[in-house]
Amino acid sequence: MYFPFLSLELPVTIAYSCLLIVVLLPYLWVAFAKAGRRADGTRIRYNNHAPRKQQASLEGMYARAVWAQDNAFEATPSFAAAVLVAIHAGVAADMVNGLAVAFVVLRVLHGVLYLGDKPALRSLSWVLGMAVVVGLFVMAITK
């Protein structure tokens, strides 16, 4: 019995691994938000009955962690589509892998800059990440 979906081309497994990282990245940011502390240093108890209400009440770095999570979720579909389209179009595996790694690095940097309240650098990392997505699509279109 032949299962073509199990015979992945080894060179693009880096890009597939990057897809997994990008899918999981929002949960890293929200875990940080859930470990929040008040201004006096006391721990904020996680409210599993109303997590969105609790997250909306967070301030400072912990609120920014929630915003980083939201933005990470927003960036995931376009990146996933770009990688899969580029692979399907036959873009060279080293190009897809390299750009996928660059995107992951930029998205991690984006979250760190969000937490650190560095809006200009955060926006730059967002723009560069979107340039990676556009680049993958352009390479697929021109292939």
Q: Are 141 and 81 in contact (CB under 8 A)?
A: no
Residue 117 gets which letter from DSSP?
T
Helices (H) and strands (E) in the chain, counts: 5, 0
Put residue 119 in one of left, alpha, beta given phi > 0 → left and psi -120 to 50 → alpha. alpha
**Rounded distance between C-alpha atoms, residue 108 and residue 45, angstroms:** 26
DSSP-derived letter for residue 49 is: S
37 pairs with which residues across the strands? 43
| Contact of 63 with 44, CB cutoff 8 Å | no
Q: Give the pTM.
A: 0.86
pLDDT per residue rounded down to tens, the chain (143 residues) = 444 554 555 578 899 999 999 999 999 999 988 887 666 667 777 767 777 777 777 888 999 999 999 999 999 999 999 999 999 999 999 999 999 999 999 999 999 999 999 999 999 999 999 999 999 999 999 98
The CATH topology of domain 11-33+60-142 is Four Helix Bundle (Hemerythrin (Met), subunit A) (1.20.120)
Question: How far is 18 from 69, CA to CA, in rounded Å?
Answer: 17
